[in-house]
Amino acid sequence: MEPANLVPIPGAPVLELLMPGSRPRILLADLHLGLGATPAQAQGPPGASAPELALELVRLADRRRAYGLIIVGDVKHPIVGTPRPLRPVVFDFFSTLLSAGLAVDVVLGNHDVGLVRHLPKEVEVHGAGGCVVDGIGLFHGHRWPSNAVMKSDYLVAGHLHPGYRLAPSADSARGKERCWLRVSFPEPRHRPKRRSPAAALAARQMIVMPAFNPLAGTESLNRQRPRLSRSFLFHRFVLRGQARAYLLDGTDLGPLPRRRVAALPESPAPAPPAP
């Protein structure tokens, strides 16, 4: 079970952080603004453009009566720097959120190099080591989090883009769905005198959020191990505990397989017509 003040919103790849004596905050990860953008369409393609994603978040915050948003890494898609056409897109995205009266925090991810200078000054930025909000440690997942985050009882991360393949073959339409991961960690047996990063984990549970951008790549974690660029979070955190997967609508998919599963074959090509 997740902590009582941290609740997934059914049908949406976001968490609601219930704040005692205050309105809630919305947590999300992996916006990847600029994904699929072209010179003629710098805001991104329909269905995942920056204005559409901003309005979706504003509507969601309004429905939940949230006062703020926390983006847990990968605001933009280009990894190194922010291309000139994307700079006003990023600024306008956050301006839409701020104009709606939302407080906005950003935890930097591996795609956010060069992002800060293009954000409105009202956005509060936290380094890649993460931050602690109401006792919950938030970090993106591409590097080891800060000591303060590691001391938290509960962790929230992104970066992994968790998904689940439900179709019988790798090229089946809609065969791969975004999902949540809830990882329960065993109680530490002892604390070695010589501390290593792996021994510093004190959390009881971690939640790995699905990517918010619907066009972002998704890892089929029930079929194969994640790409090398996302393997750190998987091997150093997910595999240290017992992970369970859930679809966005709350469907319990059961424990995540711990062994390596062979990738699904492509469907055979149709035979050529007879002469």
For the chain, give every domain's residue range: 6-167+174-187+199-255
Q: Average pLDDT, stretch 193-219?
A: 81
Beta-bridge partners for 7? 16
Spatial distance between the Cα atoms of 266 and 170, rounded to a whole number of angstroms:
5
Is the separation of the CB atoms in 79 and 110 below 8 Å?
A: yes
What is this structure's pTM? 0.88
CA dihedral 91, 134, 139, 183 (to 10 degrees): -130
Pick the CATH number of 6-167+174-187+199-255 from 3.30.1760, 3.30.2010, 3.30.310, 3.60.21: 3.60.21
Spatial distance between the Cα atoms of 208 and 216, rounded to a whole number of angstroms:
15
Beta-bridge partners for 136? 133, 154
Helix-then-strand count for the chain, H and E: 4, 15
Band (pLDDT 50/70/90 cuts) for residue 196 is: low
Which tens digit of pLDDT belongs to each residue from 49-104? Answer: 999 999 999 999 999 999 999 999 999 999 988 999 999 999 999 999 999 999 99
DSSP letter at 232 equals H
- Burial of 33 per CB tally in 10 Å (0-12, 13-18, 19+): buried
Length of the chain: 275
Token pair of 181, please?
């991961």
Is the separation of the CB atoms in 139 and 72 below 8 Å?
A: yes
Spatial distance between the Cα atoms of 107 and 72, rounded to a whole number of angstroms:
5
Write down the pLDDT at residue 169.
58
Which tens digit of pLDDT belongs to each residue from 249-269? Answer: 999 999 998 765 544 444 444
Query: Residue 275: is its pLDDT beyond 70?
Result: no
Which tens digit of pLDDT belongs to each residue from 139-192? Answer: 999 999 999 999 999 999 999 999 998 876 555 556 789 999 999 998 765 555
Q: Average pLDDT, stretch 110-139?
A: 96
Is the separation of the CB atoms in 162 and 219 below 8 Å?
A: yes
Token pair of 58, please?
């504003």
Beta-bridge partners for 162? 219
